[in-house]
Amino acid sequence: QLQLQESGPGLVKPSETLSLTCSVSGGSIGTVTYYWGWIRQPPGKGLEWIGSIYYSGRTYYNPSLKSRLTMSIDTSKKQFSLDLSSVTAADTAVYYCARQDMDTAMVTARFFDYWGQGILVTVSS
């Protein structure tokens, strides 16, 4: 059974960088048939896609976050990571990592089929 687990600080100061890691167990992260993504959810609000990364390191970012976002992947450690710089209170949210199914015929990523439990990150001084 595939499992994903987010880790990182629960509190980040304004203007600093939010860094999270997702550890994957029960399956391979270096497969050609999946992307790996981050989604966030501000308290009491809806879901927002942050970005997705392929095992090769290819990334796709939400245009609204692109200037502050860096994602990376380490297949040997079965981990992928998120760095979001210059955070403000608006970045306070539960951050989820998830596996993203891929349409291998079209070479496009699709829906999120496995999710981590989420980690609450609060931006506050």
Binding site for another protein (CB under 8 A): 46-49, 52, 60, 62-63, 96, 98, 101, 106, 108-113, 115-118
Toward another protein, which CB reaches closer, 31 or 64? 64
Least distance in Å: CB of 38 to another protein? 11
Least distance in Å: CB of 69 to another protein? 14
Toward another protein, which CB reaches closer, 98 or 123? 98
Distance, CA of 30 to CA of 118 (rounded, Å): 22
**66 φ/ψ angles, rounded to the nearest 5 degrees:** -55, -40
Toward another protein, which CB reaches closer, 46 or 88? 46
Contacts of 58 (CB under 8 A, 6+ apart): none
Q: Which residue is listed with tokens 């089929």? A: 113
Q: Please name which of 47, 33, 35, 41 lies closest in space to residue 4, comparing C-alpha atoms.
A: 35
Least distance in Å: CB of 100 to another protein? 9
Residue 25 is encoded by which pair of tokens? Answer: 């167990």
Toward another protein, which CB reaches closer, 117 or 122? 117
